[in-house]
Amino acid sequence: MPMTTTVGNPGSTTPEYERSPSRFTDRITADGRDGWPVEAGRYRLVVSRACPWASRAVIVRRLLGLEDAISLAVVDPLQDERSWRFTLDEGGRDPVLGIAFLGEAYAAREPGYDGGISVPAIVDVPSGKLVTNDYPRITLDFETEWTALHRDGAPDLYPEPLRDEIDEVMDAVYRDVNNGVYLAGFAKSQRAYERAYRRVFERLDLLSERLADRRYLVGDTITEADVRLFTTLVRFDAVYHGHFKCNRNKLAEDPVLWAYARDLFQTPGFGDTVDFDHIKRHYHQVHTDINPTQIVPLGPDLSSWSTPHHREELGGRPFGDGTPPGPPAAGEEVPPEGRAA
């Protein structure tokens, strides 16, 4: 399917792009009320490192230290008509699930299913069935339902006293930024594009103002809101500025947002999960209605992601009373060609 999350239809002739809701919304909870109890080793998180929605789950899993509790499968950044492929694995099959395409887990859950195949997806290993592709809920449940399996020193990414404010910020970020770049990129009329474009930059300007004198979006620690904004910002200059025509200015030309993004990128659990090679190849080679030549740009220069940001001068405690995560688990490191430096 020709997009990052394969929800909605970027090839549609309607003027405005519409993102379809997640089809499978069962939850994995501590009490198992949906029939899926939290259980170490039972589930597999399937992601594309190209996808911003999946990258949220990768980051939160790292920050909370859930690597031993839920295993990780990384798909090829280029999917075909049969869905996301496990061609990065030996023999072209996921070594745990034994499947060649993520669509097989969807079909195991619902025989005859012919809808979109999206990531992130959590699959029940014993049955091979998809449990959920509800990307907004997956990370929140990692934070609130999987607490018994968090590492010692795991941060509280969704602190209860701040949840109303976090939700309010995340709603605006989703509407105008996370999804807004897609509304601009997949628009089928000049009017629809211009409307989305203006909303993207109006919101980015407001976020820049908000972050001018505070290190993080809500409170003085990293929260789920920062994770959700980061996954769009880290892709902005590499793909959204040119490919999606969000080109009023680059992220690197906004001193506040650029410093904020670098601060997070240099925080363990964020930048060490980013694969720029997967990001650039996916957007430029899969979205053939936007880029029919499938040429992947060589730029931008990624070395500046490691330059000093000086955001620590604003104070704040990245992990609150917790501690940073350790290095990426063996076998989960981003390959050298995907790293910023």
**Looking at residue 13, what is its pLDDT?**
52
Quick one: pLDDT band at residue 341, thresholds 50, 70, 90? confident
pLDDT in tens, 246-294: 999 999 999 999 999 999 999 999 999 999 999 999 999 999 999 999 9
CATH topology of domain 160-325: Glutathione S-transferase Yfyf (Class Pi); Chain A, domain 2 (1.20.1050)
d(CA 301, CA 294): 20
pLDDT of residue 38: 98
Instruction: Say if CB 38 and CB 29 are below 8 A apart.
Output: yes
Active site residues: 51, 182
Looking at the predicted structure, is the pLDDT value of residue 27 above 60?
yes
- pLDDT band with cut points at 50, 70 and 90 for residue 123: very high
Binning pLDDT at 50, 70 and 90, where does residue 15 land?
low
Alpha helices, DSSP H, located in 92-246: 103-109, 135-144, 163-173, 180-185, 190-211, 224-235
Q: Is residue 228 within 8 Å of residue 171, measured between CB atoms? A: no
Average pLDDT on 117-134 reads 98
Sign of CA dihedral 244, 17, 114, 171: positive
pLDDT at 5 over 70: no
> In this predicted model, which residue has the larger pLDDT, 297 or 19?
297
Instruction: Quote the percentage of the chain above a pLDDT of 90.
Output: 92
Task: Identify the pLDDT of residue 198.
Answer: 98
pLDDT digits (tens, 9 = 90+) for 220-231: 999 999 999 999
Please tell me the predicted confidence (pLDDT) of residue 82.
Answer: 87
Longest dimension (CA), the chain: 56
pLDDT for 77-118, tens place per residue?
A: 999 888 999 999 999 999 999 999 999 999 999 999 999 999
* Four-residue CA torsion sign, 101, 73, 173, 277: negative
pLDDT tier at 7, thresholds 50, 70, 90: very low
List, for residues 237-251, the tens digit of each pLDDT value.
999 999 999 999 999
Residue partners of 171: CB distance under 8 A and separation at least 6: none
Q: Decide if pLDDT at 135 tops 80.
A: yes
Residue 57 one-letter amino acid: A
Mean pLDDT of 130-136: 97
End-to-end alpha carbon distance in the chain? 31
Tell me the two tokens of residue 222: 């990293």
Give the span between the Cα atoms of 62 and 325, in whole angstroms.
Answer: 7
Contact 67/151 with Cβ under 8 angstroms? no
pLDDT of residue 6: 36
Round the average pLDDT of the chain to a whole number and report it.
94
Whether 19 contacts 84, CB under 8 Å:
no
Q: What is the DSSP string of 22-55?
A: PS-B---BTT-TTS-B--TTTEEEEE-TT-HHHH
- pLDDT-wise least confident of 3-7, 66-70, 192-196: 3-7
- Are 174 and 228 within 8 A, CB to CB? yes
Whole-prediction pTM: 0.95
CA nearest neighbour of 177 among 269, 61, 262, 257: 257
Question: What does DSSP assign to residue 147?
Answer: G
